[in-house]
Amino acid sequence: MHGFTQGKNCEIYEGAVLFPNVILGDNVTIFPGAVIGRPPLSTGATTRRVETTSLAPVRIADNCIVGANAVIYADVEIKNNTMICDTACMREGCRIGSFCVIAMGVTINYNTRIGDRVKVMDNTHLTGNMIIEDDVFIGMLVTTANDNLMGRKPSAIEGDWSGKGPLVRRFATIGQGACILPGVEIGENAIVGANSVVTKNVEPRSLVMGIPARFKRQLTSDELLGT
C-alpha cells in the first residue's frame, strides 16, 4: 500500500504491506511479509469491540527492525532501537519502549505497555491490558491471562471480568514456560522459576517456583539487578 510516511534511510523489502496510517522514523528496516497498520476487524464473535475510526497511527521510531511476517495493528507506538522479530504480532493500543527485543512468534494483545530494555523470548503470549516495566526478561513459552471466567458465565462478566492483565515490575525475570494469571503483580527484581503457575502476587526480590508458585527464598544482594 501507499501513503505511509518514512524518514531517512529506511529499507522496506518487497512483500511488506504498510497501511497509510504508518509513520516510520529514520533507519527503519521492514522485512518481507510484514504487515504494519492493520485495522482490528471483528465478525462479531469477539467480546471486545473496537472503534476503528478513532485509532491513532502506527509510529515506529529510529533504528527499529520489523522482521519477516510480523503483524503490527493500528495505534501502536514503538520507540527507538527496538527489534520486532519474525512472525511476532501486536494488537492495537500497545506501547513498546526503546532497546527492546520482541522475539520470534511473540503475541502481544491489546493495550499492553512495555518499558525500555525489555526482552520477551520466542512464542510467549502477553495478554491485553498488561504492564511490563523497564529491564524485564521474560523467557520463551510464557503465557499470561486477563480473564478468570473464560466465557463460562456471560451474565457475570461485567462484575467479575475486569480484563486486567499482570503487572511485572522492573528487573523482574520470568522463567520459560511460566503461566501468570490475571491481575497478578510480579515485584521488582523478583524471579519466577520455569514452568511455575503464578496465582498470587510475588514479593519484590524473591524467588518463587512450582505449581502453584510458592515463595522459596529472598534473593541475595549479588543476585539483584540495577543495584
Domain ranges of the chain: 11-40+52-148+160-223
pLDDT confidence of residue 131: 98
Average pLDDT over residues 67-77: 97
As a whole number of angstroms, the distance between CA 3 and CA 189 comes to 44
Q: What is the CA radius of gyration of the chain?
A: 18
> Helix (H) and strand (E) counts for the chain?
1, 28
Statement: residue 51 has pLDDT above 80: no
Per-residue confidence at 107, pLDDT binned at 50, 70, 90?
very high
Q: Is the pLDDT of residue 225 over 90?
A: yes
Q: What is the pLDDT of residue 78?
A: 98
As a whole number of angstroms, the distance between CA 160 and CA 163 comes to 9
| Residue with the three cell numbers 521474560 | 138
What is the mean predicted confidence (pLDDT) over 84-101? 97
Does the pLDDT value for residue 12 go beyond 60?
A: yes
222 backbone dihedrals φ, ψ, rounded to 5°? -80, -10
Which are the contacts of 68, defined by CB distance < 8 A and separation ≥ 6?
Answer: 31, 32, 33, 34, 86, 87
The residue among 74 and 41 whose pLDDT is bigger is 74
Q: Is the pLDDT of residue 201 over 90?
A: yes
| Rounded mean pLDDT, 42-51 | 72
57 phi/psi in degrees, rounded to 5: -70, 165
Average pLDDT over residues 205-224: 96
pLDDT tens digits, residue range 139-162? 999 999 998 777 666 555 455 546
- State residue 52's pLDDT score: 67
User: Does 2.60.40.1930 match the CATH number of domain 11-40+52-148+160-223?
Assistant: no
